[in-house]
């Protein structure tokens, strides 16, 4: 088993859950280069990606080189691929959770490259998840813990809704996905919240006395548009179900302490 992007937050969790895997960081396996992996893998857990959503707007070719051409290279290894995709393949206007049968309609460059990457996977599993966080890497939980310790109040967006998913839970679910037929599966934490609600939960669980000032996406003014509601649910009974996001948050905080 080969894990790509092992230096990232999900790749790190996958390497823990699959200790027998050949887990490679970007330095050890750059997916944009011609790939020659020995021994050839039987299956690839493809967690490497360009994940800088705002940066992709400024460099669409760079994002596509990793998320689309890079995925093509990984598929070219000849083994089935578990490709991790994103809630950002949807435009967020449905107003209720997105199911596997919903038609993707990305609004950002990042979302488009993740969708184009899905289309490169001929034999494999597409696992769409959302709002990932873990004890390593850059993520919202770690940022809020830092800001919450420094400030009395932080301004956080309250008009985007999703399901914050702990990478440890997603990595365990990947084991179950490998037992399923090839196809697309929505695997995200149970429950949903806005970023502001998530920040309040982080401060509460971590015992930080920091207030949350609720702002709009427009006020924040980030370069990439984001879906207003990108909650994912599965309509397929065989899809693994994840714990509630608050349980994921507690598991992550336990790891951090």
Residues at the site binding ligand NAP, with contacts judged by CB under 6 A: 4-5, 7-11, 26, 29-32, 47-51, 66, 70, 84, 86-87, 114, 129-132, 137
**Distance of closest approach, residue 46 Cβ to ligand NAP, in angstroms:** 7
Do residues 228 and 181 touch, judged by C-beta distance below 8 A?
Answer: no
Do residues 128 and 234 touch, judged by C-beta distance below 8 A?
Answer: no
| From 83, 88, 110, 185, active-site residue | 110
Q: Which is nearer to ligand NAP, 56 or 212 (CB)?
A: 56
* 97-100: long-range contacts, CB 8 A cutoff, minimum separation 24: 97/192, 97/231, 97/232, 97/233, 98/186, 98/230, 98/231, 98/232, 98/233, 99/186, 99/233, 99/234, 99/235, 100/183, 100/184, 100/185, 100/186, 100/234, 100/235, 100/236
DSSP 87: G
Among 18, 47, 20, 43, which residue's Cα sits nearest to residue 31?
47
How many other β-carbons are positioned within 10 Å of the β-carbon of residue 42? 10
**Distance of closest approach, residue 158 Cβ to ligand NAP, in angstroms:** 18
Do residues 133 and 9 touch, judged by C-beta distance below 8 A?
Answer: yes
Burial of 251 (0-12, 13-18, 19+ CB in 10 A): middle
Q: Confirm whether 98 is a catalytic residue.
A: no
How is residue 92 written in tokens? Answer: 């967020």
Q: Which is nearer to ligand NAP, 10 or 154 (CB)?
A: 10
Q: Which is nearer to ligand NAP, 90 or 153 (CB)?
A: 90
**Distance of closest approach, residue 152 Cβ to ligand NAP, in angstroms:** 27
Q: Which is nearer to ligand NAP, 83 or 152 (CB)?
A: 83
Provide the sign of the torsion angle of the four alpha carbons 124, 127, 133, 139, taken in this order: positive
**Distance of closest approach, residue 60 Cβ to ligand NAP, in angstroms:** 15
Q: Which is nearer to ligand NAP, 90 or 209 (CB)?
A: 90
**Distance of closest approach, residue 100 Cβ to ligand NAP, in angstroms:** 15
Q: What amino acid positions are annotated as catalytic residues?
A: 110
């Amino acid at each position: 088993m080969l894990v790509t992007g092992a230096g990232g937050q999900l790749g790190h969790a996958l390497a823990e859950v699959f200790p027998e895997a050949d887990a490679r960081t970007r330095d050890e396996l750059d997916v944009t280069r011609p790939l020659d992996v020995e021994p050839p893998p039987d299956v690839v857990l493809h967690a490497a990606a360009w994940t800088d959503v705002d940066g992709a707007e400024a460099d669409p070719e760079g994002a596509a080189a990793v998320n689309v051409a890079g995925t093509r290279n990984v598929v070219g290894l000849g083994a089935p691929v578990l490709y991790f995709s994103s809630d950002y393949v949807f435009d967020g206007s449905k107003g209720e959770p997105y199911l596997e049968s919903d038609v993707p309609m990305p609004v950002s460059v990042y979302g488009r490259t993740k969708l184009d990457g899905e289309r490169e996977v001929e034999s494999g599993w597409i696992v769409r998840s959302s709002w990932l966080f873990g004890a390593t890497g850059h993520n919202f939980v770690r940022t809020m813990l830092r800001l919450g310790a420094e400030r009395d109040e932080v301004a956080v967006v309250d008009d985007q809704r999703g399901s914050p998913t702990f990478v440890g839970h997603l990595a365990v679910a990947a084991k179950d996905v490998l037992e399923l037929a090839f196809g697309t599966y929505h695997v995200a934490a149970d429950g949903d919240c806005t970023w502001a609600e998530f920040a309040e939960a982080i401060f509460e669980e971590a015992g930080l006395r920091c207030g949350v000032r609720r702002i709009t996406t427009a006020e924040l003014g980030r370069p990439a548009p984001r879906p207003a509601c990108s909650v994912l649910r599965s309509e397929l009974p065989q899809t693994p179900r994840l714990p509630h996001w608050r349980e994921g948050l507690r598991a992550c905080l336990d790891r951090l302490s």
